[in-house]
Structure 1
Amino acid sequence: MTENIKRYFIKSFIVLAVIHLAYFSYGYFTFKGLKNINIYTEFYRFKFYDDVSISHFFVSGLFLLIFLIFLIRNHSRENYKGGNLFKVAICLLLISFLTFSFFISYSFGMNAKLKTELSENDFNNDKKLLNVLNPFLYGYTSYSSEKLFNYENILYPKPYPVIKKEDTIVTGEYPITETSYYSIDTIKALTSTFDKTTHKADSIFDILGFDKEELYKRVISKTVIGDSTEIVFKGIQVHPEHDNDICIFLENKSLFSPVHGDSIGKQTYQAAVDRYKLLYNSKKDSLTYTFQRLDTILRKYNIETSLVPKQLTQDVYHYRDNKEEPLNGIRNTFDRKALAEKIKTLNKLFYEPNYLHPNIMAIYFAVIVLVWMALFLFYLIFNRKKSQ
């Protein structure tokens, strides 16, 4: 290609870059802000009827018209063939793509503004706090749910977690069952060592008169991982109903919203540890301060709330110290659904942004290819006429 057409393409790319910067700025300064995000919020997708779409049509059409006029008028006399013609085709393809991607820069601007209001680190810290406090945030009817709140959900302190076992004491039409809880222990050893030890242990049990079958019944699972064997088995019997170091708020291990990229298991356990320390190892003021942080988060995300940290702390301590009393509700009134929707939407904006929405992807690339073919065809036609 000649230097003239190279300079022309470079100037065209610079003009497109300026237009992209303008759309980026438009997206940045028109972003409605963190408080106005709701479940319908998404990064921009072409809608054909709003200001961004209408301006996009106008700006793209005007640019392509001017670009094509000057291209044919000033740069179509070279009669390119082979490699040079291929280079022109590639440049025209890039021009087509950049001309129809202004709305993506608009979305980049929205994303940049979102990150200035809420960094990913701050967002993750907010989710960690919500995960720790999640058992305190349910509506009063949820606390009677055995699925949400039960002893098997307790992860900390030792000897928890536990496994539930029900034995039928009396059979018949109206059977009577007895519920027991056992700690969960793990043994891990090399498979070869484990096999040898097992045979020796069987011999010792026979000599001492121990019931091997009863011991084997305690095995929950046996897993071979590489050259190692891991056995999970029932340990000592635990009586959580008489344990004064646990309460209903430890009987839920659900996360409000997992932190992206971290192990769910580790997050669940760490939240349980932090929750226990707040309830039993820290002063009452620490729990109040944590609820104050929760209130700040709710207001930051524009969630309707009437939460009073001191009152909520009093309620939590009441049910912590009176575990036999049914929990009829604590003063934790806020719009839980709105918070869940906002966190879910922010997760999508941070980790599944969809700058190019799947619904328009096929049409988008089809338009780019068609425009590119039209530009290239015009160039070939006028180039041939000039050469003749």
Structure 2
Amino acid sequence: MDKQLKKFLIKSVIVLSVIHLGYFIYGYFKFEGIRKIDIYTEFYRFKFYDDVSISHFFITGLFLFCFLVLLLRNHSKKKYSVINTVKIGASLLLISFLSLTFFISYSFGLNAKMRQELPEKDFNKDKTFLNVLYPFLYNYTSYSSDKLFNPENILYPKPYPVIAETDTTYYNPNDTEYYSVETNYYSIDTLKILSSDYKNISSKILSGMDYLGLEPKDFTKRIISKKVIGDSTEIVFKGSEVDPEYDEDICIFLENKILYSPVRNVSEATQQYQNAVARYKLLYKYDQDSLLHSFQRLDTLFKKYNIESQIVPKDLKHDVFYFRDHNREPLNEIRNTFDRAKLKDKFNTLERLFYKPNYLHLSIQIIFMIVVLSVWISLFLLYLIWNYIKTRNHRLSTENK
């Protein structure tokens, strides 16, 4: 490739890089803050009618026009080999792409500003904080849902978690309309023994059975699962019976393990357990002011994300401890009103912007590729044709002399 042409192409790329930097800076300062983010927020897509699109159109058009004029006038009088022609074509493809992607640099600027205002570490802290407090934040009607709140969701303290076993008793074997249902809960315990001992279960050599007062046959009925690990067998079984209803260290707020917004790269089971421990300590181990402080932090978080809230931390703390101490009363009122839908939309949107930043919107991807290829083919063909004509004329004029 001619040295002058190479310099010209490099200078063109530098000019485009400077323009990209300008759009990046513009996007950085144009970001309005996380308070303004809503469900419709997305990183910029070419919209054809705003300042970015209009300026993009004119700057791209002006650059390509000047680039083409200079290319054809100053660098189209030499015959190049196939390899050099391919290199020129690749360079023109790069320049075509760079000249049509200023709006992507604008999106990078928006993303950079968002991450500066809300670093991923802080975002994860906010998610963890909400995950811990989530059982206190449901609408009061949700607390009557057995799907959301039930003893099988309790993960801490011991002997929880538990598994439910339901027995149905029919008063008349010939009449299935009259029956009673009894639900019993058992702790989920693990026993690891040699596989040879497990095969001889009837010999009562299984350790761990004595404290349960179980015969080997009864023990086998309680086995939930078993897994062979090397020369040992790990048995998960129903352990001692537990009565959550009369457990004074348990309340309805521990009967929910749903994560409000899971933290990435940490298993959900690990998060659920850690949240359960933190929640239990707030309810039963720490001073009541600790929960009050948590609700005050929650109020600050709502302001940070621009969420309308009617929560008074002191009142919510009072309600939580009241229902903790009166666990058998139906929870039909709790003062925890806030804009739940907006907060959920906000965190879902931030999750998408952090981990699935769609810089090139699906609605314009095909159009974008067609435009890039069209511009590239046009530039390349014009250059090849013009270079051929110039080279041919130069050769003919030389021969005539």
**Structure 2 partner of 1:294:** 298
Unaligned runs of 5+ in 1: none
Of 362, 383, 386 in structure 2, the residue corresponding to residue 382 of structure 1 is: 386
**Structure 2 partner of 1:248:** 252
**Structure 2 partner of 1:131:** 131
In 2, Cα distance between equivalents of 1:218 and 1:62: 78
Given the two structures, how large is their TM-score scaled by the length of structure 2?
0.92
**Structure 2 partner of 1:78:** 78
1:212 Cα deviation (Å)?
A: 3.8
State the one-letter code of the partner of 2:374: L
1:231 Cα deviation (Å)?
A: 2.4
Confirm or deny that 1:261 pairs with 2:265: yes
Structure showing greater Rg: 2
**Structure 2 partner of 1:3:** 3
1:359 Cα deviation (Å)?
A: 2.5
**Structure 2 partner of 1:59:** 59
Confirm or deny that 1:364 pairs with 2:379: no
Kept in 1: contact 2:202–2:217 (CA 8 A) = no
**Structure 1 partner of 2:197:** 197
C-alpha offsets along residues 238-271 of structure 1, whole Å, 9 cap, x if unaligned? 0111100010100110111001111111001100
**Structure 2 partner of 1:280:** 284
State the one-letter code of the partner of 1:381: I
1:22 Cα deviation (Å)?
A: 1.1
**Structure 2 partner of 1:19:** 19
Q: Show the 5 A alignment for 1:137-286.
A: 137-171=137-171, 172-188=176-192, 193-194=194-195, 196-204=196-204, 211-224=215-228, 229-286=233-290
In 1, Cα distance between equivalents of 2:136 and 2:25: 42
In 2, Cα distance between equivalents of 1:143 and 1:332: 13
Give the direction of change, closer, same or farther, for the CA distance of 1:305–1:226 in structure 2 (3 Å limit).
Answer: farther
State the one-letter code of the partner of 1:300: K
Kept in 2: contact 1:205–1:212 (CA 8 A) = no
C-alpha offsets along residues 299-339 of structure 1, whole Å, 9 cap, x if unaligned? 10000011111111111111111111111121111101100
State the one-letter code of the partner of 1:279: L
Kept in 2: contact 1:140–1:330 (CA 8 A) = yes
Kept in 2: contact 1:205–1:211 (CA 8 A) = no
**Structure 1 partner of 2:356:** 352
Give the direction of change, closer, same or farther, for the CA distance of 1:325–1:210 in structure 2 (3 Å limit).
Answer: closer
SS at match of 1:108: helix
SS at match of 1:260: coil
Give the direction of change, closer, same or farther, for the CA distance of 1:231–1:204 in structure 2 (3 Å limit).
Answer: closer
1:49 Cα deviation (Å)?
A: 2.2
Q: Is 208-217 or 24-33 further displaced after alignment? A: 208-217
In 1, Cα distance between equivalents of 2:371 and 2:114: 30
Give the direction of change, closer, same or farther, for the CA distance of 1:204–1:245 in structure 2 (3 Å limit).
Answer: closer
1:364 Cα deviation (Å)?
A: 1.3
1:293 Cα deviation (Å)?
A: 0.7
Given the two structures, how large is their TM-score scaled by the length of structure 1?
0.95
In angstroms, what is the RMSD of aligned CA positions? Answer: 1.8
In 2, Cα distance between equivalents of 1:228 and 1:366: 62
1:169 Cα deviation (Å)?
A: 3.0
Number of residue-to-residue matches in the alignment: 383
Give the direction of change, closer, same or farther, for the CA distance of 1:47–1:226 in structure 2 (3 Å limit).
Answer: farther
In 2, Cα distance between equivalents of 1:226 and 1:103: 58
1:178 Cα deviation (Å)?
A: 1.3
In 1, Cα distance between equivalents of 2:190 and 2:170: 32
**Structure 2 partner of 1:327:** 331
